[in-house]
Every structure is written in C-alpha cells, then in structure tokens.
Amino acid sequence: MRSVVRALRPAVRRSQTVSAPRLQRRARPGFSALQCARPFSTTQTCRDASLADVAPTPITHFSEVETAMAETVQKFANDVILPKVRDMDEAEQMDPAIVEQLFEQGLMGVEIPEEYGGAGMNFTAAIVGIEELARVDPSVSVMVDVHNTLVNTAVLKWGSEALKKKYLPRLATNTVGSFCLSEPVSGSDAFALATKATETESGFKISGGKMWITNSMEAEFFIVFANLDPSKGYRGITAFIMEKGMKGLSIAKKEKKLGIKASSTCVLNFDDVEVPKENLLGERGQGYKYAISLLNEGRIGIGAQMTGLALGAWENAVKYVWNDRKQFGKLVGEFQGMQHQIAQSYTEIAAARALVYNAARKKEAGEEFVMDAAMAKLYASQVAGRVSSLAVEWMGGMGFVREGLAEKFFRDSKIGAIYEGTSNIQLNTIAKILQKEYTV
C-alpha cells in the first residue's frame, strides 16, 4: 500500500508555500492584530484584520492535505487494521506488523519536519488521522495519538538541536515513544509525583516509578517527568529522555483492562536509572509547564479519538439496523423510536467534531485554546460513551456478543473520561477559565 506521506507529499509542499505567510501572521504571540469579541457563543471569536477579505469557512472544512489524510487513513484502517481488530483485542496485544505499517505510512511522524524524516504536516492533519483510526480501532488510534501529540511534540518544542537530530528521525521511522507522568500517588494531582532525579557528574540518576503508561510495551523512547529539586515543590519537576535498555529501567507489570486492550498500559520502575546530561529535555524545573502544555494539545487528540470511536460505533450499528435485521416485518431501523435515537446520536457526533476541529484550528492559529480543548475532550468522550452504549442496544443480542465490534467500541469508550485528565478535571479547567473571565 502506498504510504500516506508519499501520497500527500506534493499537497504538503503546496500547502506550505501557499498558506505559510498567512499562518505566520496568525501565529503572532498576543492578540494585538486580532479583533476579539465575545458574542453569545461558547468560544471567543477572533478575526485577524489582515484576513478581512477571506470568507470564514465551516470548521469541518479540510485543506487538501487534511482531506487526503482522511481518505488515505480511512483506506489503510479498513484494509489493514480492521481484519485484525478483534484478534488484537482478544490477545490484548498490538500486532507488531501494524506498528511497522504505522511507521511505513508516515503516521508516527505527522508533524515532524521532512528534514528530520517526518511528514511535515500540520496538527489538524494529525487529528484527522487519529479520528479516522479510532473509527476502526481506538487502540491503534491512541498509539498514534500519544506518539504524535505528546512525545514528538515534546522533542520538537523543547529538544536541543542535538536531541532533535538524534531522536526525531527514529521517532518518525521506527521507534515508539511513551509519555511518563502518572504515578501510583499522582494521577489527577499529577505534580505530586514522587519520582526523583539527582544530579551526578555525568548527568542524572532517576529513581521511582510510573503507572498506566501507554505504548510502554512497544516503546524504546520514554519522556519521563521527575523532581530534581523537591524543596521547590512542583517547580522542581524536570523532563528527561530515557531509552529502552538503560540499566535500571524495567516494565514491572502490564495491566489487563476493560477497553483499548490492544494498547499496552504498563507500570514502569526506575531503579537508579543513569540518564546522560544531554538527555535533559528543555530546562530544569520547567517540566510541569511542559506537561500542562502537552496535555492541553493532547486532549484535542483524545477528543478526536472519541469522535472517531462514536462514529465507528454508530456506523457499525446503522449498517445492521438499516440493512440486515427485520422484526415485525420491517427493518428495525425503520421504527421511529430507533430513528430518533439514531438521528440524535449523529447530531451529537457532529457537535463533538465541531468542538474538536475548532480547538485544533485555534491551536494551529496560535490562539488561546485551553478551554476549547477541555470542552472538546469532555464532550467527545461523553458522546462516545452515550452513542456506543446505544449502538449496542440498537443491535440487540448481536450488539452484546463478541462476534462484532459493537461491544468493543462500548468498552473502549470509557477511557475517554479518564486519561489525559478525567472529565471532572476538564470541567474544573472550563469553570476556572469562565470564572476568571466573568468575575468583575
């Protein structure tokens, strides 16, 4: 199969030459050139004065690159991943051939510039890919999501040139990455982490452990947050790069889970792992800022994953009720009681999608997007839960058995309300921002 990157390269080049100046203008820090207003809408509306002659377009309109990404990933997911989804879920393991093909397709280096071996595409293109993968398998989708939005982004944003040269080509072509923040004592309260780093002559020694780390079974590259100066509290948190094979780094346990079973989730132990000084990522004590910033972006990815999941569950069920299953002499999807639920669900998926793409566009434009990302993740995971649950009911007994994918989508949906900040944490973020704005 032709790789996504090769197929899209000409379009990427065109988009870079055509739209770069416009994006640069919009990405200026601050909003001085933007006229911002808050009419009766849920998100701040900004119009760049220099774009006055450009007609606003619907949020879900895609660029040429994004459209091609959607089409190519859709085909790849249906032809290559779909036949393996049930077996991977039962085996609770990702097929290594799928991981290899994700790299071959260029889906593990979407935003990594071409000079480092990546596809050189934009953030929204990655979001489109994550959504399309989740429509078929949310487990494969989260592997791509974590690798691109958390791991690659961290190196791109804060890696030294030497680190970029060393690791980005590998992350784009053959090395899976993990993002290691959560610990037994620190989940929602992420910065209460207990893993410690001490400075040595040659670098750092890290001791402690992490919990629930996605991709860690397949990963050879780990971004690890540890406290280098606990006397400073969370301001001591620092980011480091570890590699598989470093002495003292081990996987203590692979979790058995309710859903996304093919995605590995493990406990990691750090027993005085010696990290060379050049593997310090960014600046000492800035780790908490990096983690917040990455998770804000990452939440848009989880919103996309949940939107794709909801659509996959919806499509799987409507194909059955509108084509196969007859009761009382007609297709069960023809009963009005069913049709109203189906229409309501599709509307909710469209609303979730709009939130996800609005957040992605705002991030790309250099605008404030934290509340948008939180709303997108919160709402998309609620929609995924509701729709995938209804989809099981629409299919009756066929939805409940493990022959098809309905019950799997339902199980997979639950994680959306938990990782990269629980739903309560998203609500806290939204409320905090609103309260600040509306407090006089």
Select the residue interacting with ligand FAD from 181, 317, 370, 376 (CB under 6 A): 181
- Structural contact between residues 263 and 189, judged by C-beta atoms closer than 8 angstroms: no
Amino acid making up residue 249: L
227 makes contact with ligand FAD (CB under 6 A): no
Nearer to ligand FAD, 282 or 421 (CB): 421
| Cβ burial 191-203 (10 Å sphere, 16+ → b, else e) | bebebbbeeeeeb
Distance CA 423, CA 403 (A): 31
User: In the bound complex, what is the minimum distance in angstroms from residue 27's beta carbon to ligand FAD?
Assistant: 28
| Main-chain dihedrals φ then ψ at residue 227, nearest 5 degrees | -95, 120
Distance CA 419, CA 302 (A): 8
Least distance to ligand FAD, CB of residue 213, Å: 5
The least distance separating ligand FAD from the CB of residue 259, rounded to whole angstroms, comes to 8
Q: Per-residue b/e over 36-50, b at no fewer than 16 CB within 10 Å?
A: eeeeeeebbebebee
* Cβ proximity to ligand FAD, 236 vs 301, nearer residue: 301
Asked if residue 212 binds ligand FAD (CB under 6 A), the reply is yes
In the numeric block, the tokens 């480091």 are attached to 240
**Residue whose token pair is 């592997």:** 143
Nearer to ligand FAD, 286 or 341 (CB): 286
Which CB sits closer to ligand FAD, 181 or 395? 181
Q: Does 187 bind ligand FAD (CB under 6 A)?
A: yes
CB of 212 to ligand FAD, least distance (A): 3
CB closer to ligand FAD, 122 vs 263: 263
Please identify, using beta-carbon distances, which residue of 43 and 93 lies nearer to ligand FAD. 93
* Given 213, 268, 273, 371, the residue binding ligand FAD (CB under 6 A): 213
**Of 70 and 251, which has the nearer Cβ to ligand FAD?**
251
Interface with ligand FAD (CB under 6 A), residue total: 21
String marking each residue 120-149 x if it binds ligand FAD according to CB under 6 A: --------------------------x---
Strand partners, 243: 221
- Please report how close the Cβ of residue 85 comes to ligand FAD at its closest, in angstroms: 17
Binding ligand FAD (rule: CB under 6 A), the pick from 112, 136, 267, 415 is: 415
Nearest distance from C-beta of residue 19 to ligand FAD, angstroms: 33
- The residue (of 8 and 144) whose beta carbon lies closer to ligand FAD is 144
Asked if residues 109 and 173 have their Cβ atoms less than 8 Å apart, the reply is: yes
Q: How far is CA 249 from CA 131, 164, 204, 219, 268, in A?
A: 33, 22, 14, 12, 7
Interface with ligand FAD (CB under 6 A), residue from 103, 158, 179, 270: 179
* Closest CB to ligand FAD: residue number: 187
Considering only residues 252 to 291 of the shown chain, the ones binding ligand FAD according to CB under 6 A are: 257, 265
CB-neighbour burial class of residue 162 (10 A; exposed 0-12, middle 13-18, buried 19+) = exposed
Q: How far is the CB of 178 from ligand FAD (least distance, A)?
A: 6
Stretch that binds ligand FAD, among 15-23, 118-126, 179-187, 279-287 (CB under 6 A): 179-187
List phi, psi (to 5°) of 142. Answer: -70, -30
- Between CA 271 and CA 206 the distance in angstroms is 7
Looking at 122, 182, 195, 345, which residue binds ligand FAD (CB under 6 A)?
182
Among positions 49, 253, 424, 432, the unique one binding ligand FAD when judged by CB under 6 A: 424
Answer yes or no: are the C-beta atoms of 235 and 284 closer than 8 Å: no
Concatenated DSSP letters of 330-362? EEGGGSHHHHHHHHHHHHHHHHHHHHHHHHHHH
Active site residues: 420
**Whole-angstrom Cα distance, residue 381 to residue 306?**
5
Task: Give yes or no for a contact between 408 and 392, defined as CB atoms under 8 angstroms apart.
Answer: no
Residue ranges binding ligand FAD (CB under 6 A): 146, 179-182, 187-188, 212-214, 257, 265, 415, 418-422, 424-425, 428
